[in-house]
Structure 1
Amino acid sequence: MFTRTESFKQFLRYYPVVSIIVFIHIVLYLISILPFLPNTWLFEHFAGVNLYIVEGEYWRLLTPIFMHSGFSHVLFNSFSLVLFGPALEQILGKGKFIFVYVTAGVAANVATLLFEPLTYIHVGASGAIFGLFGFFAAIIMFRKDLISYANAQLILTITIIGVIMTFLQPNINVVAHLIGLLAGFLIGAGLLSNKKRPTFSFNRPSSNRFGNHRPSLKEIALSKRLLWGIIIILALVGFLFR
């Protein structure tokens, strides 16, 4: 579910929304470091600045979702999206995935506006990505048939690690992380707890579906290796770019 085995072309075809979002991340980051533009130009016009939002620049509730403050920031968030976004894009479809991602990100930025001072400045996709974690939690609670036991344990573990790291790492928008997580869960609860049990489409062959089944020893071992790989990558990124 979270192991990427597709070629680059297959990834673009199967997961166009995730691909476009990552592309936007990269383009905006490259623009922010272009030598012929002031280093602060992009941030002056599109970063989340609470004071400017209050004064009417409401687009700043949306644009910070796609902006990042440095190479490690854009790398970490883009890596997280590539790892966890495809499964949800496949389960939900393009339209619903965009709705979940953007709504969670905007909700995180609105909460930042409400709970942080007017001088607070923020960028990053973390609130939207935590929204994906929240939606996965809703899947585990309301639609276990959409996810295997091994993957459910994996995503819960990663979500707990993410929440813990939110409080341990410096310069983290704690409000955005927590509200993004909550928004994703509430959206998932609204979509998945319907008694009519809405169906979700899968764009790839049925053999690749993420249905609920008894995990094999191979699946459990693979999940453990993937989990430890993610933990090691998180630790290295945190150490190298702290």
Structure 2
Amino acid sequence: MNNLFSNLTPVVKNLLIANVLFFIGSSVFPHLEFYLPAFYPDSPNFYIWQIITYMFMHADLGHIFFNMFSLVIFGPILEQTLNSKRFLNFYLICGLGALLLHFSVDAITLYQATGSLFPYRMGVPLDLNDPAVAGVYGSRILGASGSIFGILAGFAYLFPNIRLMLLFPPIPIKAKYLVGGLIVIEVYLTLTKAGGNIAHLAHIGGALFAFILMKLWGIRKGY
């Protein structure tokens, strides 16, 4: 465990600290849960800073543990490969991309239900008994998962044939198959709406923007 944390790169270390501080802060000051997660932009609960702060908020201990565990395992290798400045940009852009995809689908849902992308601000009457409308305005998105899925996708893009050891079952699997499988599962859960309150679209968005960034930056695919 000491070796794991001693090998942390600067940006990964700072991101880890920031996420932990936000988690502690939201536990001590519960009202932050109304201001720092991201609400749909048409919601009266939306504030512009949420597009960044949502990435550092987590619902519970399990949520932050698995995200930070993935950050610590895969983040340093990606930061060393991309360099610290580019890695930070990568992390934030994947998080923003995750939110963009999630909000885009919310916008389509609202348009189909109300004929407007921003009905509240346009003065369009809202039927909060409509599950589609209530789902958009009554939900929030929080967590680093979009950025983490971006890191996983970036790692699989750069090192597709590195074998990773699964915990359950304890068998080795190439990174490209593991991450590819995770993305397929996220797509399935999105289409079947079987994932509960988890923002699976954000996970897909993070992975998608990771791939786009790798292409735009001319990063050569690994073998």
TM-score (norm 1): 0.65
1:123-142 correspondence runs (5 A): 123-139=142-158
Secondary structure in 1 aligned to 2:23? helix
**CA separation in 2, counterparts of 1:45 and 1:184?**
27
**CA separation in 1, counterparts of 2:11 and 2:141?**
24
**CA separation in 2, counterparts of 1:170 and 1:120?**
12
1:86-165 correspondence runs (5 A): 86-116=76-106, 117-139=136-158, 147=159, 149-151=161-163, 154-165=174-185
The structure carrying a bigger helix percent of its residues is: 1
List structure 1 runs of 4+ shifted beyond 4 angstroms. Answer: 51-56
**CA separation in 1, counterparts of 2:4 and 2:66?**
21
Residues 52 and 46 of structure 1, relative CA distance in 2, 3 Å threshold: farther
Q: What is the match of residue 25 of structure 1?
A: 19
1:62-73 correspondence runs (5 A): 62-73=52-63
| Aligned residue pair count | 179
- Which residue identity is paired with 2:162? A
Q: Could you report, residue by residue, the CA deviation over 1:25-83 in whole angstroms, capped at 9, with x for unpaired residues?
A: 1111111222xx3x2x1111111111466887221111111110111101111111111
**CA separation in 2, counterparts of 1:160 and 1:122?**
24
Q: Is the 8 A contact 2:146 2:203 kept in 1?
A: yes
- Percent of paired sites with the same residue: 27
Q: What is the match of residue 82 of structure 1?
A: 72
- 1:6 matched to 2:21: no
- Which residue identity is paired with 2:88? I
State the 1:108 CA deviation.
0.8
- Of 32, 36, 49, the residue aligned with 1:42 is 32
Q: Is the 8 A contact 1:50 1:119 kept in 2?
A: no
State the 1:150 CA deviation.
3.0
**CA separation in 1, counterparts of 2:212 and 2:61?**
32
- Which residue identity is paired with 2:161? Y
State the 1:179 CA deviation.
1.1
State the 1:185 CA deviation.
0.4
Residues 174 and 82 of structure 1, relative CA distance in 2, 3 Å threshold: same
Q: Could you report, residue by residue, the CA deviation over 1:135-166 in whole angstroms, capped at 9, with x for unpaired residues?
A: 23443xxxxxxx47334962213213422443
Residues 44 and 192 of structure 1, relative CA distance in 2, 3 Å threshold: same
- Which residue identity is paired with 2:12? V
**CA separation in 2, counterparts of 1:75 and 1:138?**
24
